[in-house]
Amino acid sequence: MSNIKLFESKKVRTHWDEEKEQWFFSVIDVIEILTESPRPRKYWNALKTKLQAEGSEVSQNLGQLKMEAEDGKMRETDVANTEALLRIIQSIPSPKAEPFKQWLAKVGYERMQEISNPEQSIDRARENWQKLGRSEKWIQQRMSGQETRNKLTDYWKESGVEKSDEFAFLTNIIHEEWTGMSVKQHKNLKSLKNQNLRDHMSEAELIFTALAELSTRQIAETEKAKGVSQNAVAGKKGGKIAKDARLALEEKTGKNIITSENFLPPANEKKKLKEGKKK
């Protein structure tokens, strides 16, 4: 389920994108709060048309995610990152505009607190996974893999990789090399929409993902890779190490490492990952 944050006791559905490292907010929810319109969707459609006519680039920076609607069903809705949302807010005459900007800053600050104090984020993540019924073994592997991931992204930042889409590009190269499919294809295989792929990986998938990213970082450091192109080469080499290990294990066991199983609630999906069960 998408996160829900509150502004003046009103719900604003939000989603944190791990790859792009930024928040996305439901535009309709924000429109409803700022305008108090009984028909926020109609208001937003008119505003979007106006912005497009003015040549605004806001519409180009919008996306769509499936978020839980009032009827409990997951429906696609327009979402905007903080920058695009602030531009939208500026186009709405509302006395709540300034307080809402402050609220957005607070949401960002809370995320920065987690980044500057990793223990706070780790404790919250562990608690959430425990509530979802994850085993301690799975949680430990998930957290260990995240530490490996963080060290890799730190290296990328130091070597000149800056944009969020560059991080996503490099991540996809590693993933495609070791799994034989893109991140998007892997999510589709698991019937995921806006959920975090790693939160629905088996223990084996987590281990091989970590191996691919650990290998990539060590190769990049050895070769002193700089920029996107050189890190992409290191990514393919690191991914291949995990791929070779995966194929060797699959040959010995006769079992596929890459699986369509997930942790989605049984009520929504028939497939349910059962930890500890032999595939």
The per-residue pLDDT for range 37-69, each reduced to its tens digit, is 889 999 999 988 888 887 777 766 788 888 888
H/E run at residue 186 = helix 183-189
Q: Which of 29-33, 83-87, 123-127 has the lowest mean pLDDT?
A: 123-127
Instruction: Return the pLDDT at 173.
Output: 97
How far from the centroid of its chain's Cα atoms is residue 267's Cα?
23
What is this structure's pTM?
A: 0.59
Tokens standing for residue 149: 């991931």
For the chain, the structural domain boundaries read 3-114, 118-253
CA 198, CA 215: separation in Å to the nearest integer? 18
Contact of 26 with 12, CB cutoff 8 Å: yes
In the three-class reduction of DSSP (H, G, I as helix; E, B as strand; rest coil), residue 166 is classed as helix
Checking if the pLDDT of 194 tops 90, the result is: no
Counting residues of the chain whose pLDDT is more than 70, the rounded percentage is: 82
More confident residue, 119 or 136: 136
CA 11, CA 7: separation in Å to the nearest integer? 7
Contact of 216 with 234, CB cutoff 8 Å: yes
Amino acid at 13: R
H/E run at residue 4 = strand 3-7
Mean pLDDT is highest, among 79-83, 143-147, 152-156, 164-168, for 152-156
To 5 degrees, how large is the angle CA 206–CA 246–CA 231? 70
Residue 200, CB-side half-sphere exposure with 13 Å CA sphere: 23
Instruction: Name the E strands within the chain.
Output: 3-7, 10-17, 22-26, 62-68, 74-81
More confident residue, 215 or 142: 215
How far from the centroid of its chain's Cα atoms is residue 50's Cα?
31
Ramachandran region of residue 9, left (φ > 0), alpha (ψ -120 to 50) or beta?
Answer: left
In the three-class reduction of DSSP (H, G, I as helix; E, B as strand; rest coil), residue 278 is classed as coil
Q: At what angle do helices 203-223 and 136-158 cross, to 10 degrees?
A: 20
pLDDT 10s digits, 243-252: 999 999 999 9
pLDDT 10s digits, 5-19: 666 667 888 887 766
Instruction: Return the pLDDT at 1.
Output: 39
